[in-house]
Chain A
């Protein structure tokens, strides 16, 4: 069983839609959670970082962690064409080695 599972998509939404991206994980000991955005042929860049459970908001982006369900989510409000990218979740229990999901490809249509 993989440490983290992520639906690869692809996901296609109209501009202005609310986007929900999700990952599930297997080990309840995980407590560090990250979301990265990766544009085509570029390196990943950090969007959100959460330690333990709860919600975190940054502009149009909200990260949620539900440790009881071992489920993490990234919500994008008022999605823009510039949000078109692959989104990767990453989790860790020690902060030393993060396990990455396979990524969800998102296209926002103008």
Chain B
């Protein structure tokens, strides 16, 4: 019973490097989300996908891109990483946008 799986769990990048964070859910959920969590800032929504084939910007989308590859997978890409993107990234999914969201274990990203 995996739920929401994120890879990798840890990553260190140099400024300017690119990377993709992967997320997959096995609960047949329609909606998926990417959040970042920073000390004193709480969880902030980067992008979300209300259903397969759609994506929308959240509160802090600058510097990120997303792809809803299929119903199960939602990836987050950093094209040119910056130190300000050092954070813990959480992927989440829910059956619909107004129902319970289930979170993954997080990806701890450090940009040096």
A interface list, Cβ under 8 A from B: 6, 8, 32, 34, 41-46, 49, 88, 90, 92, 94-103
With A96-B48, A96-B50: A88-B43 Cβ-Cβ less than 8 Å: yes
Closest chain A residue to B103, Cβ basis: A43
Mostly, the A contact residues are loop
Q: How large is the interface on B (under 10, 10 to 19, 20 to 34, 35 or more residues)?
A: 20 to 34
Which residues of B are found within 8 Å of A49, using beta-carbon distances?
A: 99-100
- Hey, which chain A residues are within 8 Å of B58, CB to CB? 97
How far does the Cβ of B102 sit from chain A's closest Cβ, in whole Å?
8
Q: Say yes or no: A102-B90 contact (C-beta < 8 A), given A43-B103, A96-B97.
A: no
Shortest beta-carbon contacts, A-B, top 5: A95-B98, A43-B103, A100-B43, A102-B42, A100-B42
Q: Can you report 9 residue pairs joining A to B where beta carbons are below 8 Å apart?
A: A41-B106, A42-B106, A95-B97, A97-B45, A98-B101, A100-B35, A100-B42, A101-B42, A102-B41
